[in-house]
Structure 1
Amino acid sequence: MKFNRLGQSQLNVSEVCLGTMTWGIQNTQADADEQLAVAIEAGVNFIDTAEMYPTPPNEATYGDTERILGHWLNRHAHYREQLVVMSKVAGSGLNYIREGSQISGTTLTQALDASLQRLQTDYIDVYQLHWPNRSTPHFGRHWPAKYQPQQTDTAAEIAGMRDILNALKSAITAGKIRHWGLSDETPWGIATYLKLCEEMGVERPVSIQNEFSLLHTKDWPYLIEQCMFEQVAYLPWSPLATGILTGKYIDGKRPSGSRWTYIQRQGLFRDRPAAHEATKRYQQVARHAGITSAELALAWCKQVPGVSSTIIGATNTQQLLQNLNAFNLQLDSATLKQIDAILHDYPAGF
């Protein structure tokens, strides 16, 4: 397993990060225990969770993923110092989480204390803002005319950022978190936080996790370049595009128990003809290379300059082992050239 420095921190993290958002709906405590055993055996020391998980999010299961990880941490306390655990504070939009309120200094502190209790740990290594308070060109809003930046009150947004940073500074001072990071942010958000951190004497964000895959490359090269130059670790989430790149959803297929069979998921904005056509092309490349299309997608993702660690998830150990194996692969120049040709034909799958 290869390890990379996490931004400007002193943390070295595996190039694979174990995602946990299926734990609590698609996976049980026993499943999670098994996945953690497999991942740690493979050298993974990086785990990502969130107060909102599992997904699809709902009031009945809110916080259960952290509880599952917490039960494991309580039974395996000797691993705690070896692991880098990340979690996230949810923003607005979910009425059962702090009445749908935005992230503020107050709500962040409330969320952090609750996460620490569920995780049964004294500290979280990296505490992240799950999504910004303002509207951003993420989650299907990256297409022209889908996002209206003129509707954002930037002065109010910056004031809110200051309030959040004060709470993060207090949490770091109290030892509740070691570092903090961003998620689903934009270059403006990164730049503004960096400027405010310097002005306020707050530690800079060490990482950002955004959606990134062969079907969703909007962060490359501009946002990823900024991350490299500013030493902010870039952490792709959904590198298999919610499973599309495995090929399991081609031609309208919906395998039993898969994510797209769940209410609220069902492909969301990602179920587009271009995504499936591109996937068919990637499957051809993978077959020629003697690997699966999932392995192709993950091996491609890890070799993108600026990617520090890729967040993967699985609903069973067979999937997890296959995903882990992808990080032992090196795509040759001929395969990369074929991938580039498809990216030119399908620069945005969804």
Structure 2
Amino acid sequence: MKFHPLGHSHLKVSEVCLGTMTWGIQNTQVDADEQLAMALEAEINFIDTAEMYPTPPNEKTYGDTERILGHWLNRHQHLRGQLVIMSKVAGGGLSYIRNGSGLSGDSLTEALHDSLARLQTDYIDIYQLHWPNRATPHFGKHWPGKTDPRKTDVAAEIEGMRDILVAIDKAIAEGKIRHWGLSDETPWGISAYLKLCEEMDIERPVSLQNEFSLLHTKDWPYLIEQCVLENIAYLPWSPLATGILTGKYIDGERPPGSRWTYIQRQGLFRDKQAAHEATQRYQQLAQAQGISSAQLALAWCRQVPGVTSTIIGATSCKQLLENLKAFELELSSSTLKQIEAVMHHYPAGF
């Protein structure tokens, strides 16, 4: 396992981050324990969760992923100092989480208190803002006409960011979080926070989580360049595009228990013909190399300049083992050129 600096922090994290969002719906506590044991055996020291998890989010299971991880942490307290644990405060839009209110200093403080209790730990290494208050081109809204930045009240947005940063600064001073990061952000949002941090003398964000995969490359190269030059760790989530890149959903297939068999809060906006056609092409490339299409996608993501650690999840140890083996692979220049050819033909899968 290779390790990389996490942005400007002193932390070093494994190039694989264990995602946990299936724990509580698709996975039980026993499953989670098995996955964590396998991750530790592979020398993974990086774990990602969120108060909103598991997904698809719903009121009944809200917070259960943190509870499952917390139950494990309580039984393995001697390992806490060896791990880098990230969690996220939810933004607005979910009525059962703080009445659907957006992010603010008060909501962050309340959410952090509750997350620490569920995780059964005194501190969170990286506390992230799960999504911004304003409408942004994420979650299927990256096509023209889906968002209108002219409708953003910039002054109100900046004032809200100030309020959030005051709460973050207080949490760092109290030792409740070590560092903080962003998620599902844009270049403007990153720049605004960096400017405010300098103005307010508050620690800068150390990381950014955004969706990134062979089917969804909108951050490359421009946003990733900003992260690299500003010393912010770039952490791709959903590198398998919610499982499409495994090939399991081709021809309308819905394997029992798979993520797409559950009701989706935002609909299956990734279920597009181009995504499936591109996946079939990637499957052919992978078969020629004697690897799975999932491994091809993960190995590709790993080698993108600027990627610090890739967040992977699995619903079984068999899947997790297959995914972990991808990080032992080095794709040849010939294979990378063939991948590039497919990307030229399918520049945006969904």
TM-score after normalising by structure 1: 0.99
Summarize the alignment of residues 90-105 of structure 1 with structure 2, pairs less than 5 Å apart.
90-105=90-105
SS in structure 2 at match of 1:337: helix
Summarize the alignment of residues 233-312 of structure 1 with structure 2, pairs less than 5 Å apart.
233-264=233-264, 268-312=268-312
Q: CA deviation at 1:104?
A: 0.2
In 2, distance between residues paired with 1:159 and 1:263? 36
In 2, distance between residues paired with 1:290 and 1:300? 15
Q: Quick check: 1:181 aligned with 2:186?
A: no
SS in structure 2 at match of 1:270: coil
5+ residue gaps, structure 2, are none
Name 2:31's counterpart in structure 1: 31
Name 2:117's counterpart in structure 1: 117
Identical residues among aligned pairs (%) = 78
In 1, distance between residues paired with 2:336 and 2:226? 24
Spell out, residue by residue over 1:142-183, the C-alpha distance to the aligned partner (whole angstroms, 9 max, x if none): 001111111110000000000000000000000000000000
Summarize the alignment of residues 120-135 of structure 1 with structure 2, pairs less than 5 Å apart.
120-135=120-135
Q: CA deviation at 1:222?
A: 0.4
Q: CA deviation at 1:42?
A: 0.2
8 Å Cα contact 2:54/2:64 also seen in 1: yes
Name 2:318's counterpart in structure 1: 318
In 2, distance between residues paired with 1:29 and 1:305? 36
Summarize the alignment of residues 51-66 of structure 1 with structure 2, pairs less than 5 Å apart.
51-66=51-66
> Aligned pair count?
350
Name 1:348's counterpart in structure 2: 348
The amino acid of 1:313's aligned partner reads: G
8 Å Cα contact 1:35/1:320 also seen in 2: yes
In 2, distance between residues paired with 1:201 and 1:171? 15
SS in structure 1 at match of 2:328: coil
In 1, distance between residues paired with 2:107 and 2:35? 32
In 2, distance between residues paired with 1:131 and 1:266? 15
In 1, distance between residues paired with 2:188 and 2:265? 29
Q: CA deviation at 1:268?
A: 1.6
The amino acid of 1:247's aligned partner reads: G
8 Å Cα contact 2:128/2:181 also seen in 1: yes
SS in structure 2 at match of 1:132: coil
In 2, distance between residues paired with 1:266 and 1:40? 34
Summarize the alignment of residues 124-273 of structure 1 with structure 2, pairs less than 5 Å apart.
124-264=124-264, 268-273=268-273
8 Å Cα contact 2:69/2:119 also seen in 1: yes
Spell out, residue by residue over 1:37-67, the C-alpha distance to the aligned partner (whole angstroms, 9 max, x if none): 0001001000000000000100000000000
Q: CA deviation at 1:267?
A: 6.2
In 1, distance between residues paired with 2:260 and 2:210? 20
In 1, distance between residues paired with 2:203 and 2:110? 21
In 2, distance between residues paired with 1:309 and 1:249? 26
SS in structure 2 at match of 1:268: coil
SS in structure 1 at match of 2:282: helix
8 Å Cα contact 2:57/2:265 also seen in 1: no
5+ residue gaps, structure 1, are none
Superposition RMSD in Å: 0.7
Spell out, residue by residue over 1:286-344, the C-alpha distance to the aligned partner (whole angstroms, 9 max, x if none): 01111000000000000000000000000000000000000000000110000000010
SS in structure 1 at match of 2:335: helix
In 2, distance between residues paired with 1:86 and 1:120? 14
In 2, distance between residues paired with 1:323 and 1:266? 26
In 1, distance between residues paired with 2:125 and 2:192? 23
In 2, distance between residues paired with 1:102 and 1:69? 26
TM-score after normalising by structure 2: 0.99
Q: What stretches of structure 1 move > 4 A for 4+ residues in a row?
A: none
8 Å Cα contact 1:194/1:204 also seen in 2: yes
In 1, distance between residues paired with 2:265 and 2:147? 22
Q: CA deviation at 1:265?
A: 6.1
Q: CA deviation at 1:8?
A: 0.1
8 Å Cα contact 2:24/2:61 also seen in 1: yes
